[in-house]
Amino acid sequence: MSQEPVQKILHVVSSMDPKEGGVCQAVRTIIAGLTTRNIYSEVVSLDNAESFFFKADQFTVHALGRGKGPWRYNKRLTPWFVTNLSYFDKVIVHGLWTYMGFSLQKAIKALSSRKEEKIPKVFVMPHGMLDPYFQRAAGRKLKALRNVFYWKFIEHKLINSADGILFTCEEEAALAKLPFKPYQPKKTYITGLGVEHPPAYVDEMRIEFESRCPQLDHAPYLLFLSRINEKKGVDLLLDAYLSIVESVEGNPSSGLAGLLPKLVIAGPDLESEFGKKIQSQVDGHHLLRKSVIFTGMLSGLSKWGAFYGCEAFILPSHQENFGIAVVEALGCAKPVLISNQVNIWREINEDGGCYVFNNTIDGTRKLLESWGQSSYKTKKMMSKNAFYSFTKNFSTIPATARFVDAISNQN
């Protein structure tokens, strides 16, 4: 007879669509880890029930329909919480600034008046959404002002009343203290975020990837794999890359001549205004046209083919709470070239699996130069160090253990 699940967890997330970013992937990974500990999970999200992207999920997803506007208001959510919350032992709210957290608080208040109802413990996992970057970034002034008022009247209640706040790393926890007051969580936990071991390499991965970018023609390359937007620093990457290839063209005896690989840029949102802008930048310069390749979003075999085939992974992000793609690269034994705004840079740097510089054009150029000028021996050692850092810091087994300890802590 199988053992009964020891806990039932409800994960609250605005969307499970992979195009929305890394939060939904984090939820999937967390649930996979919890399942190995005989902990049962369900998800409630504001997705359309007929959406294709959770059809393969092995857990139940209650998709209540798309919410309205950026707040994602959905009139079905609060009644659903009131009806179903008592079934669960714990609730994990993933992310902030949407109707999900407010609706949960309304439902708990309603249930509190019913003495016979069990109210589960509530934990919040911000996934980097308390990072001060979002209050400082150019182009976000109205959103930053909105967040100040939303925090004052609504969101601080969710954070300060929750049984615990779950952070992916020390850096995230430290940064969360800065942008808003009052910030007085009852407890905070550094759980980390586990990433499943990448599938073992098979040649079909290379074939699928090459079918997405035949113009690469087996040349060595650096891989940028992320959403194509300003926050990810892809504009810095192109500017820094161009400055190097221009200097090499002007000085063929340069120490970097012939050492800089091609650049593969993979990810969704190429059709956005920003995506079209950077594609125009590449199309408009002959040196970029012959060295930079856009693939669009990669998944499955083609994604793993891109990881396994690259020399190194590069992400000069302006803000990255965790960076699942960074960790996936480490899991494929690929060194990572990252900015110091990727919150897990300290852990990777300590293990020798990365180069790290500022999130500027100059800093990004230093990333590229450092890699290009590294010896074969250094690159091989960094590859070993990258995989070591993955197994030590970011694999699912230790992360799941920390997560379970946090949500089970009764002190």
Taking only the tens place, the pLDDT of each residue in 187-227 is 999 998 988 899 999 999 999 999 999 999 999 999 999 99
**Is residue 411 classed exposed, middle or buried when 0-12, 13-18 and 19+ CB atoms within 10 A define those classes?**
exposed
Is there a domain that residue 1 lies in?
A: no
In the prediction, which pLDDT does 55 show? 80
CA 50 to CA 192: how far, in whole Å? 32
Same domain, 388 and 400: no
Same domain, 231 and 254: yes
The stretches in the chain having pLDDT less than 70 are 1-5, 253, 255, 257, 410-411
Same domain, 18 and 137: yes
Same domain, 217 and 124: no
Question: Structurally, how many domains does the chain consist of?
Answer: 2
Same domain, 236 and 374: yes
Same domain, 171 and 208: no
Q: Which helix (H) or strand (E) holds 325?
A: helix 324-331
Same domain, 152 and 29: yes
Same domain, 139 and 221: no
Non-local (6+) Cβ contacts of 92 within 8 A are 9, 10, 11, 12, 30, 123, 124, 125, 166, 407
Same domain, 221 and 289: yes
Is there a domain that residue 115 lies in?
A: yes
Is there a domain that residue 108 lies in?
A: yes
Is there a domain that residue 291 lies in?
A: yes
Is there a domain that residue 2 lies in?
A: no
In the prediction, which pLDDT does 1 show? 45
Could you give the 3-state DSSP secondary structure of residue 136?
A: helix
Same domain, 150 and 263: no
Same domain, 20 and 67: yes
Residue 340: φ, ψ to 5°: -80, 15
Non-local (6+) Cβ contacts of 180 within 8 A are 130, 147, 148, 151, 155, 156
Phi-psi region of 375 (alpha: psi -120 to 50; beta: other; left: phi over 0): beta
In the prediction, which pLDDT does 149 show? 95
Report CA dihedral (41, 47, 53, 59) to the nearest 10 degrees: 10
* Cβ neighbours around 68 below 10 Å, total: 12
- Measuring CA to CA, how many Å separate 221 from each of 112, 292, 312, 314? 57, 9, 8, 11
Domain of 326? 203-394
CATH number where 137 lies? 3.40.50.2000
Q: Of 309, 221, 224, whose CA–CA distance to 262 is shortest?
A: 221
Q: Give the 3-state secondary structure percentages of the chain, helix then strand then coil, rounded to 5.
A: 45, 15, 35
CA 397 to CA 399: how far, in whole Å? 6
CA 303 to CA 300: how far, in whole Å? 5
Is there a domain that residue 314 lies in?
A: yes
Residues 266, 305 contacting (CB under 8 angstroms): no
**131-189 pLDDT tens trace:** 999 998 888 899 999 999 999 999 999 999 999 999 999 999 999 999 999 999 999 99
Is there a domain that residue 256 lies in?
A: yes
Could you give the 3-state DSSP secondary structure of residue 225?
A: strand
Q: Which helix (H) or strand (E) holds 66?
A: none
In the prediction, which pLDDT does 410 show? 55
Non-local (6+) Cβ contacts of 349 within 8 A are 356
Same domain, 64 and 174: yes
